[in-house]
Amino acid sequence: MKGGIVEANKQINERRAHKRLSVKKRILVLVGQKTTGALYHVVDISKVGLAFRYLGEQELANNVSELSILLNDNIWLEKVPIKTTSDIHFNIDNISMRRRGLQFDSLTSAQKSQLEEFMQRVDT
């Protein structure tokens, strides 16, 4: 099944206008409030969006309009406005998972600068 995931990711990457960095460091997104939100592992990120993975067959609610990005458990960007672009179900070794694609929506100048700095840091 892993071959199918690789092929699907290749097709997605060929359609993208902006290069996405595969995440090698521990980068998380906090969806929801600091005290009640959930943390998810980021799979890849670009200057226009990111993707994260989560366990389960059920899709997360689409009513989330912002998130925070964490690097090494420290918040790097807060209240980043987002829109969901995809949410795909797949299995790895009989574990049901999902991959949610997000597009950044109306970033401020400060957020754009922070995001560029963040991407430089994680690309090294």
pLDDT of residue 37: 81
Provide the pLDDT confidence category of residue 1 given band limits of 50, 70 and 90. very low
Domain that holds residue 11: 2-122
Number of domains in the chain: 1
Tens digits of residue pLDDT in 53-101: 999 888 887 778 899 999 887 888 999 999 999 999 999 899 999 999 9
Contact at 8 Å (CB) between 101 and 86? yes
pLDDT of residue 108: 94
Q: CATH number for the domain including 50?
A: 2.40.10.220
Provide the pLDDT confidence category of residue 106 given band limits of 50, 70 and 90. very high
For 96-124, letters b (16+ CB in 10 Å) and e give: eebbbbbebeebeeebeebbeebeeebee
**73 CB burial (10 A radius; 0-12, 13-18, 19+):** exposed
Provide the pLDDT confidence category of residue 6 given band limits of 50, 70 and 90. low
